[in-house]
């Protein structure tokens, strides 16, 4: 077997080690950071899977920076990931959907920063629908040895060195990229290991699924309504779980397109650039797909604030190209 081929069944630890051997300049810090994220994912897996058995479902009783009702598991996930990243010592700073400002880990020698949505889709927790963690990793810009600064975080998505998600579904999966393809690992809880199950994932260039909340139809831009009508004319299936990671993961494997356009409630879209859109855009491009905000590549957006939102159109390349013909069409009425 080609020594560069890493077989299905390989543990995440061994996969990371083998990949590191392919990049002699790698210092092992990013590898350790990925291990820290996987550890936190295992802990959240345990909490999510017993959520109904302990008093950990339901609202926490406070709101996050977005003004959204925090779920108890939201807060638990945020605490767990921040603690794992602090203890891992590779990360100098974190931004989280659940916290307003920059989290200084005090690891000022850490060379990386992390943007994270600790538990996306958390409103689905109480009804046992799949939820997920989304993460982006960047190299810091400020000097090693100093506290993190805002410019460390306000980097465009094309500067990511790694990104991925943990999907807590019928099985728990870790899917990530370091810019050299996308690989998927399933958590084998009896072993406590993430096991390689999907090697070098490529999303089909076309699919027959479109995902959007059609309850927002009346406030969708006309070009989006016309595109959705086109999807219906092609007899595509509408599949929308209301949990971004689950919707994205299904479309990644089956082919499809996910749309969160501007709406009356959210005139810049609902999803957050730094810890939702950028990570998924990096993944989908590595898998052969595309991601835009309707005007530009998500990964080219220059952030101006930590929690800024943007419209998100993401999925199979040919479906994204078709959408673009609708978005570019001048509306002659």
Taking the least distance from each CB to ligand P6P, the nearer of 91 and 277 is: 277
CA dist., res. 153 & res. 310, Å (int): 17
CB-based burial label for 195 (10 Å; 0-12, 13-18, 19+): middle
CB of 293 to ligand P6P, least distance (A): 15
Taking the least distance from each CB to ligand P6P, the nearer of 72 and 270 is: 270
CA dist., res. 164 & res. 130, Å (int): 16
Structural contact between residues 115 and 95, judged by C-beta atoms closer than 8 angstroms = yes
CB of 165 to ligand P6P, least distance (A): 11
Binding site for ligand P6P (CB under 6 A): 120-121, 123, 213, 242-244, 247, 270
DSSP string, 10-38: -BHHHHHHHHHHT-TT--SHHHHHHHHHH
CB of 120 to ligand P6P, least distance (A): 5
CA-based Rg of the chain, rounded to a whole angstrom?
19
CA dist., res. 324 & res. 312, Å (int): 13
Structural contact between residues 183 and 173, judged by C-beta atoms closer than 8 angstroms = no
CB of 271 to ligand P6P, least distance (A): 6
Taking the least distance from each CB to ligand P6P, the nearer of 196 and 245 is: 245
CB of 3 to ligand P6P, least distance (A): 40
Taking the least distance from each CB to ligand P6P, the nearer of 123 and 186 is: 123
Structure-block tokens of residue 28 = 């092992």
* E strand or H helix at 71: strand 69-71
Nearest to 34 by CA among 78, 72, 75, 84: 84
CB of 243 to ligand P6P, least distance (A): 5
Taking the least distance from each CB to ligand P6P, the nearer of 31 and 316 is: 316
Taking the least distance from each CB to ligand P6P, the nearer of 32 and 213 is: 213
């Amino acid at each position: 077997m080609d020594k560069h081929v890493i077989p299905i069944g390989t543990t995440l630890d061994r996969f990371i080690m083998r990949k590191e051997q392919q990049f002699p300049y790698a210092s092992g810090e990013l590898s350790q950071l990925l291990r820290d994220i996987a550890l936190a994912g295992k802990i959240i897996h345990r909490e999510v899977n017993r959520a109904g058995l302990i008093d950990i479902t339901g609202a926490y009783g406070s709101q996050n920076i977005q003004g959204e009702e925090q779920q108890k598991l939201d807060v638990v996930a945020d605490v767990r990931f921040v603690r794992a990243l602090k203890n891992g010592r590779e990360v100098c700073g974190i931004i989280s959907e659940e916290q307003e400002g920059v989290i200084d880990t005090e690891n000022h020698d850490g060379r990386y920063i992390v943007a994270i949505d600790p538990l996306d889709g958390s409103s689905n927790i109480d009804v046992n629908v799949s939820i997920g963690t989304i993460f982006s990793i960047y190299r810091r810009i400020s000097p090693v040895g100093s506290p993190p600064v805002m410019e460390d975080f306000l980097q465009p998505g094309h500067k990511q060195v790694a990104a991925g998600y943990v999907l807590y579904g019928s099985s728990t999966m870790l899917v990530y990229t370091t810019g050299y393809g996308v690989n998927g690992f399933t958590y084998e809880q009896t072993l406590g290991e993430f096991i390689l199950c999907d090697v070098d994932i490529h999303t089909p260039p076309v699919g027959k699924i479109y995902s959007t909340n059609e309850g927002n139809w009346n406030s969708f831009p006309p070009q989006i309504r016309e595109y959705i009508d086109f999807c219906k004319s092609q007899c595509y299936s509408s599949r929308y779980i209301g949990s971004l990671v689950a919707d994205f993961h299904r479309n990644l494997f089956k082919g499809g397109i996910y749309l969160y356009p501007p709406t009356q409630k959210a005139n810049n879209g609902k999803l957050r650039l730094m810890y939702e859109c950028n990570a998924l855009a990096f993944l989908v491009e590595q898998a052969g797909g595309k991601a835009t905000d309707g005007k530009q590549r998500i990964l080219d957006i220059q952030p101006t604030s930590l929690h800024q939102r943007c419209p998100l159109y993401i999925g199979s390349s040919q479906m994204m190209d078709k959408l673009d013909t609708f978005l570019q069409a001048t509306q002659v009425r």
